[in-house]
Structure formats: structure tokens, C-alpha cells
């Protein structure tokens, strides 16, 4: 009995160990960095914890930490703009994804099984190639002498310059995140009982009214899941704005990268990252609440 209890508690401990090692520890490291100051040293920040001086060293170290970097963030236009534009990019892209993904998921849930398999495959297949390669493929399509312009010229339409514009970022975001929108939506729509629609029709609903009164409200957990699953990582997205966006495009992912590697301002980069994290905690909590609700409904 005792041995058994020990084993269960060990099993329960495993995820905590994992989280502690790969989430909490790095998080504390970044948090500490954000409270430090830049210094001409290697690594480029101060204070450093000097173990040889014992408690006194720890005290000196703690005294050296402050929130100055955080205070600096809102005064620097660059950060504010990057922050707001990240939210804007992620928000607009999520909305576009919803408009595109919902009909796609709906069609997948309603079509014959063989067509459904084909569509599901088409949604999942891109995952089989590297994300980076797919973004480079997009560059190949969007660049001035790329596939898109070749095709446009063939039908007698003028060239469009999309690469290095906000439009290119939207195209990239929507393309890369579509499966994350479609799959949760598909999951809720596919699970929906057909007889509910018959009941709605029986009680006087046209097919469109039945959609708005039954199908759509029942799919809201999927809408929330898909939206948050896309929105959260898109706010911090780095690769897509970096490769597809123009040099003037500011997004937080890029800002963090620049601060870290170009400016060697590790505390600033960390502070931006922490602020981003706390902004995302709200949607993450919302997402988890939705998931709990989804499980309840799915019983």
C-alpha cells in the first residue's frame, strides 16, 4: 500500500519536475535578467551573484536588482509601438483565420468521409515540412520576380510588390497558423449531433437560423480554442515578420531579438519578454477555462 502511494506521488511529481526544469527555472532566469542592468562585461549585465562572499554577496546581489528597465519601457516609443503593433497583427490575423477557418472546418465536418480525409490531409500535410522552409517558399511566391507575379503577368496583370509589407506578414501568419484554427473548430463541429439540427428544423428553424441558434453557439468553445491557439503565439512571432515583413515593421519578437543580439541589452529584452508573458497570461487563462468547459460539454 505504502509503496503504491509512493509510486503515484512520483508519477504526479514528474510533470512538476518537467515544468520546474523547463519553464519555471528559465522564467526565473529571465525575470532576474529583467531586473538587472546592462554592463560592459561578459555576459553583459550586472549585478552578478558572487558565491564566494556568501550571504553578504547574495545581499549585495539582491540590492543591485531594480525595476528601472521596466520603468524605461513605456517611455520608449519603440517598445510601445512594437507592443501595440504585435497585438494588432495577432488580432487581425486571428480574425482573418476565423473567417477562413470556420467555413473550412464546417465543410470538413459535413462532407463525406473520403472527402473529409482528403481535406484533413491537406490541412495537416504542410506540417511534414519544416516551418522555415515553408516561409522561404512563401518568399519565393511573393518576391518581385516570384511565382505570384509570374502568374499575374501571364494573365496580363501588373506586378504587385508584397514582400516586405504588412500584407506579406498577414499572408504568412494566416498561412502558418491555419491548421491551429481549423483543427479545434473541426473537432467541435464534427462532434455535433445531427439530430440537433433536425430538432431545430422541426421547431421552425430554416437551415440558416438553425446554424445561428444551434451550430454556432455550440461551436463557440472551438472558436475560442482556435483563436487563442493562434493569437497567443502570433503575438510573439519572430520568424514571419522577420523574413516577410519590411524593416519598418515592429513586432515584439523582432524587438526582443534586436535587443538581445544587436544591442546586447539583455535586461531590456528580458523585460519586454516578461511584459509579453503577462499580457498573454490573460488569454491563456481564458483558454484554459474554455477547455474545461469544452470537456464538460463533451461528456
Partner 1 sequence: MTERSRPRLNIGAVRSTFAPWADPTAKPLVRFENVVKRFDGETAVNGVSLDIYPGEFFALLGPSGCGKTTLMRLLAGFETPDEGRVLLAGEDLAGKRPHERPVNMMFQSYALFPHLSVERNIAFGLKQQGMPKDEIAARVSEMLSLVRLDGLAKRKPHQLSGGQRQRVALARAIAPRPKMLLLDEPLAALDKKLREETQWELMALQQQLGMTFLIVTHDQEEAMVTADRIAVMRSGQIVQMGRPADVYEAPNSRYVADFIGDVNIFEGVAEHADGLSVRLASAESPQGFDIVEDDRIPLGSTAWLAVRPEKILVHLDEPPPGPNRMAGKVADIGYLGDWTTYLVELESGRTIRAARANATRFVDRPVDWDDQVWLTFARDAGVVLTQ
Chain residues binding partner 1 by CB under 8 A are 193, 195-196, 198-206, 209, 213-214, 217-218, 296-297, 299
DSSP 228-258: HHHHHHHHT--HHHHHHS-TT---HHHHHHI
Q: Alpha-carbon torsion 85, 165, 226, 107, what sign?
A: positive
Nearer to partner 1, 221 or 267 (CB): 221
Nearer to partner 1, 193 or 263 (CB): 193
Query: Least separation, in Å, of the C-beta of 215 and partner 1?
Result: 10
Nearer to partner 1, 165 or 192 (CB): 192
Query: Least separation, in Å, of the C-beta of 218 and partner 1?
Result: 5
What are the cell numbers at 117?
480525409
Nearer to partner 1, 144 or 217 (CB): 217
Residue showing cell 519601457: 73
The answer to whether the CB of 291 falls within 8 A of the CB of 218 is: no
Measuring CA to CA, how many Å separate 249 from each of 225, 237, 245?
A: 28, 12, 6
Nearer to partner 1, 179 or 221 (CB): 221
Spatial separation of the C-alpha atoms in residues 81 and 252, rounded to whole Å: 9
Residue 289's Cβ-side half-sphere holds a number of Cα atoms within 13 Å equal to: 7
Nearer to partner 1, 50 or 202 (CB): 202
Q: Alpha-carbon torsion 9, 11, 14, 16, what sign?
A: negative
Residue showing cell 551573484: 49
Nearer to partner 1, 184 or 267 (CB): 184
Radius of gyration of the chain measured on its C-alpha atoms: 25
H runs (alpha helix) in the chain? 2-19, 25-34, 54-64, 68-72, 77-110, 113-124, 131-142, 147-154, 166-191, 194-202, 207-210, 216-235, 239-244, 252-257, 266-297
Residue 154's Cβ-side half-sphere holds a number of Cα atoms within 13 Å equal to: 7
Spatial separation of the C-alpha atoms in residues 204 and 20, rounded to whole Å: 55
Amino acid at each position: 500500500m505504502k509503496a503504491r502511494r509512493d509510486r503515484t506521488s512520483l508519477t504526479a511529481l514528474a510533470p512538476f519536475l518537467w515544468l520546474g526544469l523547463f519553464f519555471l527555472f528559465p522564467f526565473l532566469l529571465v525575470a532576474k535578467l529583467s531586473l538587472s542592468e546592462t554592463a560592459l562585461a561578459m555576459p553583459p549585465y550586472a549585478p552578478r551573484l558572487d558565491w564566494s562572499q556568501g550571504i553578504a554577496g547574495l545581499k549585495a546581489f539582491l540590492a543591485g536588482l531594480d525595476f528601472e528597465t521596466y520603468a524605461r519601457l513605456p517611455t520608449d516609443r519603440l517598445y510601445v509601438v512594437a507592443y501595440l503593433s504585435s497585438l494588432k497583427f495577432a488580432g487581425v490575423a486571428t480574425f482573418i483565420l476565423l473567417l477562413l477557418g470556420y467555413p473550412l472546418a464546417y465543410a470538413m465536418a459535413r462532407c463525406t468521409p473520403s472527402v473529409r480525409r482528403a481535406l484533413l490531409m491537406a490541412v495537416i500535410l504542410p506540417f511534414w515540412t519544416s516551418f522555415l522552409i515553408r516561409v522561404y517558399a512563401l518568399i519565393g511566391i511573393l518576391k518581385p520576380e516570384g511565382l505570384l507575379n509570374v502568374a499575374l503577368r501571364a494573365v496580363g496583370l501588373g506586378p504587385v510588390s508584397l514582400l516586405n509589407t504588412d500584407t506579406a506578414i498577414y499572408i504568412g501568419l494566416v498561412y502558418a497558423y491555419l491548421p491551429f484554427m481549423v483543427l479545434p473548430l473541426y473537432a467541435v463541429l464534427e462532434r455535433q449531433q445531427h439530430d440537433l439540427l433536425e430538432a431545430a428544423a422541426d421547431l421552425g428553424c430554416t437551415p440558416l437560423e438553425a446554424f445561428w441558434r444551434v451550430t454556432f453557439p455550440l461551436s463557440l468553445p472551438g472558436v475560442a480554442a482556435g483563436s487563442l491557439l493562434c493569437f497567443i503565439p502570433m503575438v510573439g512571432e519572430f520568424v514571419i515578420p522577420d523574413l516577410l515583413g519590411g524593416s519598418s515593421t515592429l513586432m515584439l519578437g523582432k524587438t526582443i531579438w534586436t535587443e538581445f543580439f544587436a544591442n546586447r541589452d539583455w535586461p531590456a529584452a528580458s523585460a519586454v519578454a516578461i511584459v509579453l508573458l503577462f499580457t498573454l497570461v490573460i488569454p491563456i487563462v481564458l483558454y484554459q477555462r474554455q477547455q474545461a468547459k469544452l470537456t464538460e460539454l463533451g461528456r
